[in-house]
Amino acid sequence: MTIRPIKSLGQSFLIHEPTADALIAALELKPDDTVIEIGPGKGILTKRLIRACNNVIAVEIDYRLVCYLEAEIGESPNLKIVHQDFLKFDLNKFNDAKIIGNLPYNISSPIIFRLLDNISYWQRAVLTTQREFAEKVLLPAGTKGSGVLTVLCEYLCTRRRLFNIPPRFFKPSPKVISTAFTLMKRPSPAVAISHPEFFYKLINAAFTPQPRKRLINNIALNLGINKEILKNIFVQLNLPLDARAKDLTLNQFALIADVLFPYSQ
């Protein structure tokens, strides 16, 4: 069956078998694991997954590929193919699932946000994205290029770069280099924060509208907190008044969130 790839769905299919093996190895599967695959495509990972564990759920948005997979793999008691947008797929019925996906690059960010929002239901994710995007996820907060995803991933997960994947390992070849990495849920978040909901709001406010604008201005604008109060808090915490969101470590964000919370009520 020939499938004409749809660019807007990020359809670049992995064709390099050793890379598929290495991605599966990084999941460290046990037979009883439940694995959710994001966008199985033509099934290069799916075939390996059903050999390694008993419960694989492959979520694919393109009905042509659902049919292709059904024809290619046939009936397997280990596999359930779900025809759905992963961004609408309910993760809350799972417990300690493992996640794998060579992600459609245009929606890598909403997919990872969705995984972080549903962190209670999975334990490990092996993901492949465009290299520059992976770098953002893998950076420590407080370094150039960091963003909301950087801080939240560091807060909730330990992160490990696996390897780069050259364009020629995919068909059709993307124009960019890809990077595979692992996110492992921490047993508890990296820092203790009294009001995590407010911490999330603060991180979003800090990087919006622009990560390069002064942090005090972004927080004042987005959370409606008086600038003088913010300046006093920054002085109290020994933070430069002209700090940018990208300059702050996770611990510093946590400290600001705790001190600022009463002013946000």
Rounded distance between C-alpha atoms, residue 120 and residue 94, angstroms: 9
3-class DSSP state of 117: helix
Nearer to ligand SAM, 7 or 212 (CB): 7
3-class DSSP state of 172: coil
Please report whether residue 102 would count as binding ligand SAM according to CB under 6 A: yes
Nearer to ligand SAM, 131 or 227 (CB): 131
Rounded distance between C-alpha atoms, residue 250 and residue 142, angstroms: 7
Nearer to ligand SAM, 85 or 197 (CB): 85
> Which of the residues 24 through 63 are near ligand SAM (CB under 6 A)?
38-42, 44-45, 59-62
Q: Could you tell me the smallest distance in angstroms from the CB atom of residue 165 to ligand SAM?
A: 10
Q: By beta-carbon distance, which residue lies closest to ligand SAM?
A: 39
Determine how many CB atoms are found less than 10 A away from the CB of residue 12.
22
User: Of the listed pieces 102-110, 147-155, 197-205, 255-263, which binds ligand SAM according to CB under 6 A?
Assistant: 102-110
Based on its alpha-carbon atoms, the radius of gyration of the chain, rounded to whole angstroms, reads 20
Q: Could you tell me the smallest distance in angstroms from the CB atom of residue 30 to ligand SAM?
A: 22
Q: Could you tell me the smallest distance in angstroms from the CB atom of residue 184 to ligand SAM?
A: 21
Amino acid at 127: L
Nearer to ligand SAM, 67 or 229 (CB): 67
Buried b / exposed e along 207-228 (16+ C-beta atoms within 10 A)? beeebeebbbebbbebbebeee
How many residues sit in the footprint of ligand SAM (CB under 6 A)?
A: 24
241-260 footprint of ligand SAM as x/- string (CB under 6 A): --------------------
> Which of the residues 161 through 220 are near ligand SAM (CB under 6 A)?
none
67-86 footprint of ligand SAM as x/- string (CB under 6 A): ------------------xx
- CA 112 vs. chain centroid, Å, equals 3
- CA 215 vs. chain centroid, Å, equals 24
Q: Could you tell me the smallest distance in angstroms from the CB atom of residue 51 to ligand SAM?
A: 16
Kindly write down the DSSP assignment for every residue of 207-245, as one continuous string.
TSS-TTSBHHHHHHHHH---HHHHHHHHHHTT--TT-BG
Compute the Cα dihedral for 39, 42, 46, 48 and give only its sign: negative
> Which of the residues 107 through 146 are near ligand SAM (CB under 6 A)?
107
Q: Which residues bind ligand SAM (CB under 6 A)?
A: 9-14, 38-42, 44-45, 59-62, 65, 85-87, 102, 104, 107
